[in-house]
Amino acid sequence: MSGILNPYSWRKPGSRATIAGAAGTSESSNVADAEPIGWEAEADYDSDRVFTHLSYASIDGPDLSDGSDLGSPTPDRLALNAGVKVPEWNARLGTRIQHAAEFAQRVADGAGGLMIADQRDSYTIVDIYMTWRPDFANAVRFDISVDNVFDENDERVFAGVSEPARNVKVAASWQFGG
């Protein structure tokens, strides 16, 4: 095997894989002259009554031979998970908020220019949840959550592939052993 390997794949430069799926067909190929660029940042705070987790991610990168985007980079994303603890009830109430910026994937048009292959609007998704461990049975846990509270129609993966609408989940679990 010769050449520079793309850090996201084991295939040698120039090799191709085509994957057919519900959203259409995607093609993956290694790029010999790529410049993946990205960074992530996270911050946490946790006290007796409040918890938060904030994160940001930006992943991008061009194929230096034609200026097109590498693979399927994701939009810039900001996420917050925050809530309150209610130790008197052994409960937590919280919210998860994820915001993604607008996204456009540029690909070579075959004539020396670029065209947009995938374009998605920005979105903000809000979830709420509650967890409770009753005093009388500490090994038992009850969870309830509402995902996508405002019933946003978002396209997280590909243009034209909408995520499920509002989703309500209820769960009960029991932990065995120590």
Mean pLDDT confidence for 98-112: 88
Q: Coil, strand, or helix at residue 6?
A: coil
Q: What is the pLDDT of residue 9?
A: 37
109-159: per-residue pLDDT in tens? 888 889 888 888 889 999 999 999 999 888 999 999 999 999 887 766 666
Which tokens is 158 given?
């590909």
Contact 34, 6 (CB under 8 A): yes
Distances from the Cα of 28 to the Cαs of 9, 51, 162, in angstroms?
Answer: 9, 40, 22
pLDDT at 105: 83
Mean pLDDT of the chain: 81
In the predicted model, is pLDDT for residue 15 greater than 70?
no
CA-based nearest residue to 92, from 139, 145, 44, 136: 145
Q: Which of 61, 68, 164 is nearest to 115 (CA)?
A: 68
Residue pair 30/11 in contact (Cβ under 8 Å)? The answer is: yes
Contact 122, 100 (CB under 8 A): yes
pLDDT surpassing 90 at residue 61? no
**Both tokens assigned to 130:** 């509650």
- Tell me the sheet residues that pair with 34: 63
Q: How far apart are CA 56 and CA 78, in angstroms?
A: 4
**What per-residue confidence (pLDDT) applies to 158?**
60
Q: Which pLDDT does position 4 carry in this prediction? A: 36
Average pLDDT over residues 58-75: 80
User: What burial class does residue 54 get, using C-beta atoms within 10 Å of its C-beta: 0-12 exposed, 13-18 middle, 19+ buried?
Assistant: middle
Reduced to 3 states (helix: H, G, I; strand: E, B; else coil), residue 85 is strand
For the chain, the straight-line distance linking the first and the last C-alpha, in angstroms and rounded, comes to 50
Q: How confident is the model at residue 34 (pLDDT cuts 50, 70, 90)?
A: confident
